[in-house]
Amino acid sequence: MALKDYEIEKKVILLRRFLEKEESISEVLKVLANTQMATLKELKRLFKELQKDGFLDSEGNLTFLGSLEAQKAKEEFTLEN
């Protein structure tokens, strides 16, 4: 079963937040929008969904659950030799 685009985009948001802890959530979303993965508006909507689902707090920091999901995404997106 293939993942829906928005599921992949959510994982990428969490992973970027995990890897770039020094960036604000605004910077994270702008960087991802610049990749043309999705529009900034769409990324902001996904960010709000991630907050609602308990992966990010109100300031855009990863929660414990968000950290676990980001680590899973990192493993999922890592290419093996």
Residue 41's CATH number: 1.10.10
Percentages helix, strand, coil for the chain (3-state, rounded to 5) are 65, 0, 35
- Alpha carbon distance 57, 74 (integer Å): 20
- Alpha carbon distance 77, 52 (integer Å): 24
Average pLDDT of the residues in 7-31: 93
Segments forming the whole domain that contains residue 61 = 5-76
Maximum distance among all alpha carbons in the chain? 38
- Supply the pTM of this predicted model: 0.87
- Alpha carbon distance 1, 24 (integer Å): 33
What SS3 class is residue 67?
Answer: helix
Q: Judge whether residue 8 has pLDDT over 50.
A: yes
* Domain count across the chain: 1
Q: What is the pLDDT of residues 36-81, one digit of tens each?
A: 989 999 999 999 999 999 999 999 999 999 999 999 999 988 877 6
